[in-house]
Amino acid sequence: MAHKDATLEEVDQALKEAQLAFLSYKNFSGKKKATFLRAIADEIEALGAALVSIAMKETNLPEARIVGERGRTTHHCRMFADLVEEGSWLEARVDTALPNRVPAPKPDLRKMLVPLGPVVVFGAANFPLAYSTAGGDTASALAGGCPVIVKAHPAHAGTSELVAKAIFTAIEKTGMPKGVFQHLYGAGFEVGQALVKNPLTKAVGFTGSLAGGKALFDLANQRPEPIPVFAEMSSINPIILLPETLNRDADKTAATLAGSITLGVGQFCTNPGLILAIEGAGLDQFIKSLGTEIEKAIPSTMLHQGIADNYSKKLKNALAQKGVKVEASASAEGTSAQGRPTVASVSASDFAKNPALAEEVFGPFSLIVRCKDMKELNTVVNYAHGQLTASIIADESEILNYKSLINSLVEKAGRLVINGVPTGVEVVAAQNHGGPFPATTDSRFTAVGTDSIKRFVRPVSFQNFPDTLLPDELKESNPLTIWRLYNGEWRK
Amino acid sequence: MAHKDATLEEVDQALKEAQLAFLSYKNFSGKKKATFLRAIADEIEALGAALVSIAMKETNLPEARIVGERGRTTHHCRMFADLVEEGSWLEARVDTALPNRVPAPKPDLRKMLVPLGPVVVFGAANFPLAYSTAGGDTASALAGGCPVIVKAHPAHAGTSELVAKAIFTAIEKTGMPKGVFQHLYGAGFEVGQALVKNPLTKAVGFTGSLAGGKALFDLANQRPEPIPVFAEMSSINPIILLPETLNRDADKTAATLAGSITLGVGQFCTNPGLILAIEGAGLDQFIKSLGTEIEKAIPSTMLHQGIADNYSKKLKNALAQKGVKVEASASAEGTSAQGRPTVASVSASDFAKNPALAEEVFGPFSLIVRCKDMKELNTVVNYAHGQLTASIIADESEILNYKSLINSLVEKAGRLVINGVPTGVEVVAAQNHGGPFPATTDSRFTAVGTDSIKRFVRPVSFQNFPDTLLPDELKESNPLTIWRLYNGEWRK
């Protein structure tokens, strides 16, 4: 299937159409946008088996994963539909006038969030549905009132095309302006760069490598008008095994982590790439047991050859670092397109001296850092970069002695997990999928869950507006019955 | 009074102390931070007449203005105290577990906002109290749980020193960690740059010129770990005079605008630097009447000689542009340290052709753009840069015919004002003091009002945490009785 790269003229035209659509779409009510978002979910479901089979073929992911991801995609479309109907996300605030205040009258001020404008979304290699064409970035931007231009990921352009068609059908059926969603191809860097540089583009969503995300971030900041880039890039998601629990539950912990390390051939941004523990019999047993699990693991074909080559190159590099010892690899070597599950270990002192070991190896690999004691473990934690997640495996009674460790981890990660694995990102209001740099370019926003809509909006205040000219959300009678902060009180 | 510039070692030491203070301060309850913020307000008031007199001497601003600004400063400290005690600003969300969900159990997830870390605040030349040492940036960062390092503005270093002393006293009286607030001097660029580049700095607040703000923004984005810079920089705050109302109320409108243009010698970021209107008898009368008011205005001494020199240079440059006609200047020429109120006019076509005319002239100057018709006026609006504010002067009956104009203005400004002047920025929840670039570096945040605290925080999720290890804000029993989104429902 040939998907022709967009020309620079087509990029320009797409932004013009997006801007035109924006001028009406931005004023659509939550109800109207909800109809559109639900229609997208319906049309994706209507694609049926054709979508599943092309996605499987293009990504080498198994059917259950693709079906699950489709469910997650339609779920977030409907979740955002509910959100924009409910309306509290708009952060509506009303402060009424005091015309007789001295020395100066107090004006009437009303504020709410409004959309930024056209948003460019880059399809993600590792989520052909949930973080691509109708993925979380697209759904949250559309919910916020922003038109979206998707650059299809070249590795699953056919899947992207099918989903785009579903969205086009939803546009027609619900009477949305045509330019509210557009779909372009671009296998090289040119199309993506042109999209980010176009003056009509107001924000960018990206999930991928540190090099790719940082390049877009720099490009966007160098524009005459800088714009926000939400790039989710690089995280090795440390797992800390506390000693008492490890001594007792080494085998169980090993089985749980082996499952998380090899899940989806390790191709998750939340893959646990780093395990920290204190030396002793518990850790020895854990490493032995984890080794057994990893040896049994079956190498699977990765998303595309480029990712497999990159895994193999980065793995080789990590294993070649001073003091790194391979603990286990899958017995079956697999093909060059497959990722061979591997675990290695290194001492905390060698780890701390070598920044190369803190880099992400995207695939089914994890590095165990052997620490002499808790002090050394804390040093490794404090030395770590920003992460999407950090996890602690320990009984409640043990963990209560480690409050200061949690206090440090809050500074390092966007989500802290106790007695669980970081893979599996629940799509709910309380989710935070984000974290300090280099996990993302902006730790202040989540890429998953209802609050991800906040990336694509900005506040505007209306001062002394006649009621008829105010958006419905801010009118005195609150006709939409949304939660608002009214003269300092939460009211509906 | 000599204020020695900080050395680079002192900058480094200040950040180390700030980071140390952060590790305890970040966990302080809202109640405890509120005590500190209220003590700051009390101690500033306790400085009494000494503060007023030094600020008047250093800034040339009149007593009433300084007293008013002091009131605004103590008000926002107490406003943030109330905010952090109330707690809804934390955006607490709770999604409880479903352990029996298939195919996978749903974990317990709880999320809230946590502070970013040490914040560097640059004192602003034009607000010696309300946007300097204990200004809005400092108060909101402290409220959010971030230590603050202020670089005093060299033009009012003595005022800054006194306020810093008040904060130091408040620290002692309320038992805060010493490094939670620090105060450095730096007359050149070196200290400011070192503060922004220090790896422990996590955010920056700045109010000043476009060149200064953009330089800090670029510096922060070029760090190995980029950090947010909230720079409020450049805005000419267009005022649109609708024709019917102008025909009727030309003199009244002229009097109102003359007051706003000359207020504080025009040294406000919300100063109305651009007036758009349609040619005709109403506009002629308005220009005549505004001219009379401006001629009567008395030139006053500006904040410092550099600002006066800059005003005079930029004014000269604006008046030298093609098609620009001086309509009136204050009859009294004033000294070289004073800003001479001036208004000029230009045709819309000359304005649109010349980007130099869209640049801010910081001082008591306004440019009237004469438009042939509404179409030409709309073209000028669409061509405009991002602004802090945009205002429309018109009767309600007339303005109802201009909904599409308002629709365009929403894209250009952070606050829209009807029948009022942009100067006078109310410190309330519904305020938005911000706007698209170059008004600020990040249109998604306000610098004034309760929501300005959102600049200095980030979300963190806690997954499967035992209740005892959760922050009080997220504990199941909601011991602080704050508003939370609990399983999709707003509850307290």
Residue A410 lies inside a defined structural domain of this protein: yes
Q: What is the rounded CA–CA span in Å between residue B59 and residue B304?
A: 7
Task: Write out residues 51-80 of B within 8 Å (CB-CB) of A.
Answer: 68
CB contact under 8 A, A94 and B430: yes
Q: Does A489 touch chain B (CB under 8 A)?
A: no
pLDDT at B399: 96
Query: Domain check: are A209 and A303 in the same one?
Result: no
Q: The domain containing residue A42 runs over which residues? A: 8-233+444-486
- Both B163 and B214 in a single domain? yes
| Residue B467 is assigned to a structural domain of this protein | yes
- Mean pLDDT for B181-205 is 97
Q: Is residue A32 part of a domain?
A: yes
Q: Reply yes or no on whether the pLDDT at A383 is more than 90.
A: no
At residue A328 the predicted structure's pLDDT band, cuts being 50, 70 and 90, is: very high
* Residue B125: DSSP 8-state: T
- Residue-level pLDDT at B89: 97
Q: How confident is the model at residue B220 (pLDDT cuts 50, 70, 90)?
A: very high
How close is the nearest chain A Cα to the Cα of B116, in Å?
Answer: 8
Answer yes or no: are the C-beta atoms of A141 and A77 closer than 8 Å: no
State the burial class of residue B374 (Cβ atoms within 10 Å of its Cβ: 0-12, 13-18, 19+).
Answer: middle
Closest residue in B to A23 (Cα) is: B407
Instruction: State yes or no: pLDDT of A122 exceeds 70.
Output: yes
Give this prediction's pTM. Answer: 0.97
Tell me, yes or no, whether B425 lies in a domain: no
**Angstrom distance (rounded) from CA A295 to CA A287:** 12
Based on the fold, state whether residues B228 and B260 are members of the same structural domain: no
pLDDT of residue B383: 87
Residue A218 shares a structural domain with residue A268? no
pLDDT at residue A188 tops 70: yes
For B383-415, the pLDDT digits (tens) are 899 999 999 999 999 999 999 999 999 999 999
Residues A388-421 pLDDT 10s:
999 999 999 999 999 999 999 999 999 999 999 9
Identify the closest residue of chain A to B465 by CA–CA distance.
A418
Q: What is the ipTM of this complex?
A: 0.97
Q: Are residues A314 and A374 in the same domain?
A: yes
Q: Is residue A154 within 8 Å of A142, Cβ to Cβ?
A: no
Following DSSP, what letter does each residue of B283-322 receive, concatenated? HHHHHHHHHHHHHHPPPEE-SSHHHHHHHHHHHHHHHTST
> Domain check: are A153 and A21 in the same one?
yes
Chain A residues within 8 A of B423 when measuring between CB atoms: none
Q: CB-based contact (8 Å) between B359 and chain A?
A: no
- What confidence score (pLDDT) does residue B199 get? 97
Query: Tens digit of pLDDT for each residue in B307-346?
Result: 999 999 999 999 999 999 999 999 999 999 999 999 999 9
Nearest residue of B to residue A420, measured between CA atoms: B464
Which CATH number goes with the domain that contains A243?
Answer: 3.40.309.10
CA dist., res. B191 & res. A433, Å (int): 36
| B92 pLDDT higher than 80 | yes
Q: Could you give the CA distance from residue B3 to residue B156 in angstroms, rounded to a whole number?
A: 11
- Please, what is the average pLDDT of chain A? 97
B108/A417 Cα distance (integer angstroms):
10
pLDDT of res. A418: 98
* Residues in B touching A104 (Cβ below 8 Å): 424
pLDDT confidence tier of residue B188, bands split at 50, 70 and 90:
confident
Tell me the nearest-neighbour CA distance from A146 into chain B, angstroms: 12
Same domain, B211 and B245: no
Residue B480: closest CA among B73, B32, B50, B135: B32
Question: Which among A424, A464, A485 has the least Cβ separation from residue B420?
Answer: A464
A201 touches chain B (CB under 8 A): no
Indicate if the pLDDT at residue B134 is higher than 60.
Answer: yes
Residue A1 falls inside a structural domain = no
pLDDT mean across residues, chain B: 97
So what's the pLDDT on residue B48? Answer: 98
The answer to whether residue A198 sits within a structural domain is yes
Residues B314 and B342 in one domain: yes
Q: Do B55 and B192 have their domain in common?
A: yes
In a domain, A433, yes or no: no
Strand order in the sheet with A274-278: A325-329, A342-347, A365-371, A274-278, A238-241, A387-393, A413-418, B457-463, B109-115, B93-95, B484-486, B489-491
Instruction: Give the pLDDT of residue A103.
Output: 86
The strand pairing partners of B415, in sequence order, are A461, B389
Quick check: A200 and A218 in contact, CB under 8 A? no
A72 contacts in chain B (CB < 8 Å): none
Looking only at the bridges linking them, the beta strands covering B413-418 and A457-463 are parallel
Assess whether pLDDT exceeds 60 at residue A73: yes
d(CA B246, CA B178) in angstroms, rounded, equals 57
Selected catalytic residue, list B43, B232, B293, B360 = B232
Q: State yes or no: pLDDT of A10 exceeds 70.
A: yes
CATH number of the domain enclosing B54: 3.40.605.10
Total domain count, chain B: 2
**Last residue of one domain, picked from the residues A418, A435, A454:** A418
Residues of B in contact with A460 (CB under 8 A): 410, 413-416, 432
Mean pLDDT, residues A91-105: 95
**Contacts of B160 by beta carbon, 8 Å cutoff, 6+ apart:** B123, B128, B132, B133, B150, B152, B153, B183
**Cα–Cα distance measured from residue B422 to residue B270, given in angstroms and rounded to the nearest whole number:** 6
Token pair, residue B11, equals: 């900058």
| Eight-state DSSP code of residue B124 | P
List, as ranges, residues 14-33 from B with C-beta within 8 Å of A. Answer: 23, 27
Read off the pLDDT of each residue in A12-40 and give the average, rounded to a whole number.
98
Asked whether the beta carbons of residue B429 and residue A95 sit closer than 8 angstroms, the reply is yes
A463 and A323 in a common domain: no
Catalytic positions of A are 232, 269
The answer to whether the CB of B40 falls within 8 A of the CB of B96 is: no
Of chain B, the percentage scoring pLDDT greater than 90 comes to 98
Residue A215 and residue A248 share a domain: no
Out of B228, B432, B483, the one facing A459 most closely (by C-beta) is B432
Does A490 reach chain B within 8 Å, measured CB to CB? yes
Q: Collapsing DSSP states into helix, strand and coil, what is residue B47?
A: coil
Q: Is residue A266 a part of any domain in this protein?
A: yes
pLDDT category, B183, cuts 50, 70, 90?
very high
Is there a contact between A417 and B116 if contact means CB atoms under 8 Å apart?
no
Among A432, A440, A448, A489, which would you mutate to test the B interface (most chain B Cβ atoms within 10 Å of its Cβ)? A432
E runs forming strands in B317-440: 325-329, 338-339, 342-347, 365-371, 387-393, 413-418
Distance separating the N- and C-terminal Cα atoms of chain A? 53
Q: B15 pLDDT exceeds 90?
A: yes
Closest Cα of chain B to A299: distance in Å? 24
Q: Are A343 and A368 in contact (CB under 8 A)?
A: yes
Q: Stretch B448-456: mean pLDDT, rounded?
A: 98
